């Protein structure tokens, strides 16, 4: 039986990404429109929505435990306090010697079970080896480059027992896994191999059973894969092509929020064929997810 999908938020995102769900009942859903330079939110219970804008493209947004957000602004990351004050953090320029302004941007991030922020980069022109994966310490003071030669650093999450980290470099057409211990990753290996015609693996989240829910750009769906074998278990079909990421939300963490995109700047979309391109969707896949980890600094 097909999993039903509804529009959760009809605001059109040029490139919707990185949804999170926070608050007492995991009801405060938030995401970014990367090229719209916007962070948008909607309350799952009340329906109240809001947004704020930034001066740069926003590759990710994650709420902080003290209020406000950490933002992956193009030349950041930065801390945004609840009152809108921006505070700087270590940047790629501090680690790599050059931030490649206008060439490289942040793309996706997630807070690990240990509280560190894992954040990835990509080239605006999608070159296959210009991106990298980094780790920002939970106090926000130290940014470390973990590895380079990344195409599009994208979705990530961790197993419930904290022994593995899952990771997507979109251009490899794989979901990989690492051994994970105290913030360190090792022994990278493929878990899911994406085949021709499936689209491109983008953002993802994992559920309480360590199964992976992966959004597929140009795939019009979110697919679920067994977190141990990589076997496909489920597919949620969406009414538009460019599906970007997902997160579990709601008091029972049983609702899946799914973001989408119109496309990258300059890309055209047939709005007659896909009138809901860029909207944010909601589904109830019949499983329970995990809470969004907040950033501590």
DSSP summary character for residue 204: E
pLDDT at 99: 63
Residue 190: which CATH number?
A: 2.120.10.30
Q: Into how many domains does the chain fold?
A: 1
User: Which structural domain range is residue 127 located in?
Assistant: 5-283
pLDDT at 109: 98
pLDDT at 268: 73
**Distance between CA atoms of residues 109 and 242, nearest Å:** 19
pLDDT at 272: 80
In a domain, 197, yes or no: yes
Under a CB-based contact definition with an 8 Å cutoff, are residues 281 and 240 in contact?
A: no
In a domain, 247, yes or no: yes
If you count DSSP H runs as helices and E runs as strands, how many of each does the chain have, helices first? Answer: 1, 24
pLDDT at 6: 97
pLDDT at 278: 95
In a domain, 288, yes or no: no
Closest CA to 288 of 204, 203, 205, 209: 209
pLDDT at 236: 98
Under a CB-based contact definition with an 8 Å cutoff, are residues 252 and 288 in contact?
A: yes
In a domain, 242, yes or no: yes
pLDDT at 193: 97
In a domain, 187, yes or no: yes
In a domain, 294, yes or no: no
Under a CB-based contact definition with an 8 Å cutoff, are residues 295 and 117 in contact?
A: yes
pLDDT digits (tens, 9 = 90+) for 53-83: 999 999 999 999 999 999 999 999 999 999 9
In a domain, 265, yes or no: yes
**Distance between CA atoms of residues 87 and 70, nearest Å:** 10
pLDDT at 110: 98
Ranges under pLDDT 50 in the chain: none
**Distance between CA atoms of residues 107 and 132, nearest Å:** 10
Paired tokens of 270: 């047939």
Which residue in this structure is represented by tokens 């105290």? 182
Q: Which residues pair with 217 in a beta bridge?
A: 200, 242
Catalytic residues: 202
pLDDT at 267: 77
Q: State yes or no: cis peptide before 77, omega within 30 of 0.
A: yes
In a domain, 291, yes or no: no
């Amino acid at each position: 039986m097909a999993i039903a999908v509804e529009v959760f938020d009809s605001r059109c995102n040029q490139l919707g990404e990185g949804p999170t769900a926070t608050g007492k009942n995991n009801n405060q859903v938030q995401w970014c429109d990367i090229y719209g330079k916007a962070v948008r939110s909607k309350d799952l219970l009340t329906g109240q929505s809001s947004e704020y804008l930034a001066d740069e493209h926003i590759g990710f947004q994650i709420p902080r435990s003290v209020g406000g957000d950490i933002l992956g602004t193009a030349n950041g990351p930065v801390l945004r306090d609840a009152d809108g004050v921006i505070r700087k953090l270590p940047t790629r320029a501090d680690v790599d010697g050059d931030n490649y302004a206008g060439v490289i941007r942040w793309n996706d991030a997630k807070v690990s079970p240990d509280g560190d922020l894992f954040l990835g980069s990509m080239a605006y022109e999608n070159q296959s080896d210009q991106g990298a994966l980094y780790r920002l310490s939970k106090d926000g003071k130290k940014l470390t480059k973990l590895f380079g030669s990344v195409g599009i650093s994208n979705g990530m999450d961790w197993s419930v027992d904290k022994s593995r980290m899952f990771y997507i470099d979109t251009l490899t057409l794989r979901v990989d896994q690492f051994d994970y211990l105290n913030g360190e990753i090792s022994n990278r290996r493929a878990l899911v191999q994406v085949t021709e015609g499936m689209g491109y693996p983008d953002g993802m989240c994992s559920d309480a059973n360590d199964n992976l829910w992966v959004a597929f750009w140009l795939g019009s769906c979110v697919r679920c894969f067994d977190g141990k074998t990589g076997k496909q278990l489920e597919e949620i079909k969406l009414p538009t092509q460019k599906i970007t990421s997902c997160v579990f939300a709601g008091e029972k963490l049983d609702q899946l929020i799914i973001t989408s995109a119109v496309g990258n700047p300059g890309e055209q979309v047939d709005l007659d064929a896909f009138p809901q391109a860029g909207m944010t969707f909601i589904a109830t896949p019949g499983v329970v997810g995990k809470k969004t980890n907040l950033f501590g600094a």
